[in-house]
Amino acid sequence: MQKVVLATGNAGKVRELASLLSDFGLDVVAQTELGVDSAEETGLTFIENAILKARHAAKMTGLPAIADDSGLAVDVLGGAPGIYSARYSGENATDQQNLENCCILYGMFRTTKRQARFHCVLVYLRHAEDPTPIVCHGSWPGVITRQAAGNGGFGYDPIFFVPSEGKTAAELTREEKARFPTVDKRSSCCWMRYAMAKLPPLSLYIHIPWCVQKCPYCDFNSHALKGEVPHDDYVQHLLSDLDADVAWAQGREVKTIFIGGGTPSLLSGPAMQTLLDGVRARLNLAADAEITMEANPGTVETDRFIDYQRAGVNRISIGVQSFSEPKLKRLGRIHGPQEAMRAARLANGLGLRSFNLDLMHGLPDQTLEEALNDLRQAIALNPPHLSWYQLTIEPNTLFGSRPPVLPDDDALWDIFEQGHQLLTAAGYQQYETSAYAKPGYQCQHNLNYWRFGDYLGIGCGAHGKVTFPGGRILRTTKTRHPRGYMQGRYLESQRDVSDDDKPFEFFMNRFRLLERAPRAEFVAYTGLTEAVIRQPIDEAIAQGYLTECEQYWQITRHGKLFLNSLLELFLAE
């Protein structure tokens, strides 16, 4: 459950809100339980004071916060006691003293105009610097009696008369009072949860930039290691980078972490412990979060893997690429087939939640039988997940400047068709263009990417995507080179995704998956209406790329084969 701090020490109020919000997966805890004192209420309105209290609680705890402010407003008293209801007779006044003071002042006017209104404001802040708090305001009309009555309730309830019930608020039972809530807290809580639920799930990507050597096909942000890895310094910069981004989490629960590179398995066990402890201290990390770390078979050590597991890593992705010695040398890999098998067996024996083997096909001069043999050896190691990528030649790589001879299109098609059959027969289900898994073992982090989810990105060259209420989508890129990054220059660029570009970006990710795409997610995750994509959707259906039902779009086999043509329909003109 997502933890939310309530800016109060009132046990009754905590119970009430906890009961209302438990249905929505929110765990409400009083700020006093976290050692937080009350904020000074210096606002001039109920809304201002509620925001002050919520902001103080969020700042002191690092959690999303809820606060309320309420009070009685008597018309003839010009709206008094108003925001001073709880301290109308002084800072340490009792309910009885406040009530008596109100009655005395009211009696001085000797009027029959007895209208009053009880106001209540409920505020939700995603984080301490949230610029758009969710504010719920309600009021309960009544009249002031000259004679207090009833022992229920508190504060001004004994003199707040409800004409429709013929009783004061203090005489109403809990069930009767529920029909006349000062503010419809259940509706307000639903609204708060709805505003949060509209945002996509949140993940965290952490980049470790160093490798023993740069592979000739690699266009990732990796740097050949010169000297020792600066374990402690780099981790501290990662956490400082996260400090700068943490407000963008907006209090959401982080479902997955992926530590990629580079070669994350160059990082020491203690450094990994410090890193993940720091993440837990800054973000609302789900108790069952998937935490994946990439590893190079050439850097695998038993003790270090055990340290990673103790730190919280529960999924390892091993970059095997091939089990052929000649092919590994051609790819510039630092490991051999035996090291790859040893790493897989070690991961399998640790009792991790899952592990993945990365394989590539379409390698230089690779035959069909060589590609299938790689798959057979991988399957024999029984990984729950297999990523099977086709080698592509990228610019700004050694292969890009001196391209090797690769299998032609017909050979690539045969490799894919027969490899797909081999994996399917072994119990692996394809769920994404290059990803296969046994049932229940899909990579949740990558699923969040392809479902157009959000992710914070920290570390050299890391990318991030953050959605805000209202549909704004921000993309961030961090400084690529370790030298600049470790001088504290973390953010290289950021840009808002335009409304024109959102459809293409959404479907470019979504249509990598074989699963159906919920139509409601397009509206929720982009802030656009379906009308803006009606024409390209209709054209995609007409061309056989998609099928459509009331709730989903489903990419067809024809659409998968001509994915680029399908996506071009959604490009901004």
pLDDT per residue as tens digits for the range 479-522: 999 999 999 999 999 999 999 999 999 999 999 999 999 998 99
Q: Which among 167, 196, 225 is the end of a domain?
A: 196
CATH number at residue 63: 3.90.950.10
Are residues 335 and 408 both part of a single domain? yes
pLDDT digits (tens, 9 = 90+) for 77-89: 788 888 877 766 5
Does residue 69 have an active-site annotation?
yes
Domain count, the chain: 2
Distance, CA of 495 to CA of 248 (rounded, Å): 14
Q: Which residues on adjacent β-strands are paired with residue 141?
A: 117
CB count within 10 Å of CB 267 equals 27
Share of the chain above pLDDT 70, in %: 89
Are residues 170 and 219 both part of a single domain? no
Catalytic residue among 68, 69, 245, 358: 69
What pLDDT is attached to residue 71? 85
- Best-predicted range by mean pLDDT (164-178, 195-209, 244-258, 341-355): 341-355
Are residues 247 and 359 both part of a single domain? yes
Instruction: Check whether 69 is labelled as a binding-site residue.
Output: yes
Residue 518 counted as domain residue: no
Q: Report which secondary-structure segment, H or E, holds 122.
A: strand 115-125
Are residues 237 and 141 both part of a single domain? no
Instruction: Check whether 11 is labelled as a binding-site residue.
Output: yes
Mean pLDDT, all residues of the chain: 88
Are residues 273 and 352 both part of a single domain? yes
Distance, CA of 497 to CA of 506 (rounded, Å): 11
Instruction: Check whether 10 is labelled as a binding-site residue.
Output: yes
Helix/strand/coil for 96: helix
Are residues 28 and 151 both part of a single domain? yes
pLDDT digits (tens, 9 = 90+) for 7-29: 988 887 788 777 766 655 568 89
Are residues 97 and 244 both part of a single domain? no
Are residues 409 and 448 both part of a single domain? yes
Instruction: Check whether 13 is labelled as a binding-site residue.
Output: yes
Instruction: Check whether 500 is labelled as a binding-site residue.
Output: no
Residue 441 counted as domain residue: yes
Q: Cα separations (Å) of 338 from 103, 304, 389?
A: 87, 19, 21
Q: Which among 455, 471, 498 is the end of a domain?
A: 455
Are residues 109 and 152 both part of a single domain? yes
Residue 158 counted as domain residue: yes
Are residues 93 and 224 both part of a single domain? no
Residue 364 counted as domain residue: yes
Q: Which domain, by its residues, includes 325?
A: 202-455
Q: Which among 176, 196, 216 is the end of a domain?
A: 196
pTM of the entire structure?
A: 0.71
DSSP codes, 286-320? EEEEEEEEEE-GGG--HHHHHHHHHHT--EEEEEE
Are residues 27 and 171 both part of a single domain? yes
